[in-house]
């Protein structure tokens, strides 16, 4: 008999989602836009303090519109975190910009402000900076914002993985000129697919909504003076998001408990380190990750294979963008010579199962398998 499947991070539904979706069906608001979209935007604005928000079809769409609104054009340089998923970078490339990757720092695994300063010394005039809050841990985003302000360069804050996380009491996604959130199926709350673009400037968000609805001019006939996109969220999908948002704090608490359980379970194994937290902030612990000490004979692949034998899903750390074949022509800015911080984390790390539906028995099984790889 096949063992129960334990997922990395799967959707968790509660029932409130169906109430809002049923309302959409009962009122025949199943087409794009509608009351759920408007309400979801307002509820996200209230929760995050972002100012204004536009509900979109994906976090990638939000990043693309942010790049356009930031003025990114063909041939421009865009500074971006290297240790991230490709969706953080691809949208700038849609506009034919050239990424310059910025290495991580060890304190949070996020963009290194010192490396960002070096990037500005080498390339003084980028069109934008894209900084990511990796795995739900806040970056040193206040320092990054200050550097961007010194150079008068827009900051696009990728909070796709960090909804509900905060730095010094301020929610991630609200530090940049543009903030983006993702509601993909594996995120801390999901709409099955979807995203949100946030900004303090109401006119910026209004422009995003305009571009996201095919940039249709306010004329009686169909008239277009700009290239537009079909990027708006549907009323049905927004209903799922509203039902999920009600449970966000609960999801965060469970994710944090999972991280603490791994910390405790591996506390006596000096070869294991959990992904670091920013002491000035609160992570949402979307994914709990671990690294293995240099020189240890145990490898991330060995652990992932051992978990897979028990039908347990785990994942490698994101492969840094500067190591991706598609970006082999792009520069990496790092503080120290030799192997980059981001590559070192990738080589020694893995993402552990972080599903909030994991039972105590599930967590004991996972921890036991990992411990056995180290002879414990």
Per residue in 220-277, pLDDT (tens digit) is 999 999 999 999 999 999 999 999 999 999 999 999 999 999 999 999 999 999 999 9
Supply the DSSP string of 15-27, one letter for each residue.
SHHHHHHHHHHHT
**3 state DSSP class of 291:** strand
In the predicted model, is pLDDT for residue 31 greater than 80?
A: no
Q: What is the CA radius of gyration of the chain?
A: 21
Q: Check: CB of residue 40 under 8 Å from CB of residue 20.
A: no
Of 201, 166, 195, 208, residue with least CA distance to 47:
166
* Domains 16-245 and 248-373 belong to one CATH topology: no
pLDDT band for position 32 (cuts 50, 70, 90): confident
pTM of the model as a whole: 0.96
Q: Does domain 16-245 have CATH number 3.40.640.10?
A: yes
Three-point CA angle 326, 350, 291, nearest 5°? 115
- 166: Cβ–Cβ under 8 A, 6 or more apart, which residues? 138, 172, 281, 282
Of 62, 44, 93, 48, residue with least CA distance to 327:
93
| Residue boundaries of the structural domains of the chain | 16-245, 248-373
Record the tokens describing residue 365, joined without a space. 């099984």
The class that CATH gives domain 248-373 is alpha beta
Q: How far apart are CA 198 and CA 155, in angstroms?
A: 12
Per residue in 217-234, pLDDT (tens digit) is 988 999 999 999 999 999
Record the tokens describing residue 103, joined without a space. 């290495």
In the predicted model, is pLDDT for residue 2 greater than 90?
A: no
pLDDT band for position 1 (cuts 50, 70, 90): low
The whole-chain average pLDDT of the chain stands at: 97
Of 361, 346, 299, residue with least CA distance to 135:
346
What is the per-residue pLDDT for 59? Answer: 98
φ, ψ dihedrals at 349, nearest 5°: -120, 170
Three-state SS across 220-270?
CCCCECCCCCECECEHHHHHHHHHHHCCHHHHHHHHHHHHHHHHHHCCCCC
In the predicted model, is pLDDT for residue 33 greater than 90?
A: no
Q: How far apart are CA 309 and CA 244, in angstroms?
A: 32
């Amino acid at each position: 008999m096949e063992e129960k499947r334990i997922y990395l991070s799967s959707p968790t539904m509660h029932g409130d989602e169906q109430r809002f979706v049923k309302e959409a069906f009962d009122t025949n608001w199943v087409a794009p836009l509608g009351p759920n979209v408007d309400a979801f935007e307002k509820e996200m604005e209230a929760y995050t303090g972002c100012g204004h928000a536009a509900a979109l079809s994906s976090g990638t769409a939000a990043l693309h519109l942010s790049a356009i609104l930031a003025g990114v054009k063909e041939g421009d340089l865009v500074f971006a975190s290297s240790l991230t998923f490709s969706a953080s970078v691809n949208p700038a490339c849609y506009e034919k910009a050239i990424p310059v990757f910025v290495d991580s720092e060890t304190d949070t695994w996020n963009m290194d402000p010192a490396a960002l300063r070096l990037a500005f010394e080498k390339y003084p005039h980028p069109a934008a900076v894209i900084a990511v809050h990796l795995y739900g841990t806040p970056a040193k985003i206040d320092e990054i914002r200050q550097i961007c302000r010194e150079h008068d360069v827009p900051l696009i804050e990728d909070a796709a993985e960090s909804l509900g996380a905060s730095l010094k009491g301020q929610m991630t996604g609200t530090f940049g000129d543009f903030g983006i959130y993702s509601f993909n199926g594996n995120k801390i709350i999901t709409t099955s697919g979807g995203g949100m673009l946030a900004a303090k400037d109401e006119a910026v968000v209004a422009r995003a909504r305009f571009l996201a609805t095919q940039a249709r001019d306010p004329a009686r006939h169909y008239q277009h003076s700009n290239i537009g996109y079909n990027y708006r969220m549907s009323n049905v999908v927004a209903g799922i998001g509203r039902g999920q948002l009600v449970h966000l704090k609960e999801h965060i608490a469970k994710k944090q408990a999972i991280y603490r359980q791994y910390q405790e379970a591996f506390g006596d194994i000096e070869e294991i380190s959990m992904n670091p937290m920013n002491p000035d902030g609160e992570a949402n612990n979307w994914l709990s990750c671990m690294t293995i000490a240099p020189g240890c004979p145990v490898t991330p692949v060995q652990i992932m294979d051992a978990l897979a034998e028990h039908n347990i899903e785990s994942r490698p750390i994101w492969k840094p963008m500067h190591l991706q074949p598609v970006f082999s022509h792009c520069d990496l800015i790092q503080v120290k010579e030799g192997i980059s911080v981001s590559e070192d984390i990738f080589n020694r790390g893995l993402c552990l199962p972080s599903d909030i539906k994991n039972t105590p028995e599930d967590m004991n099984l996972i921890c036991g398998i990992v411990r056995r790889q180290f002879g414990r």
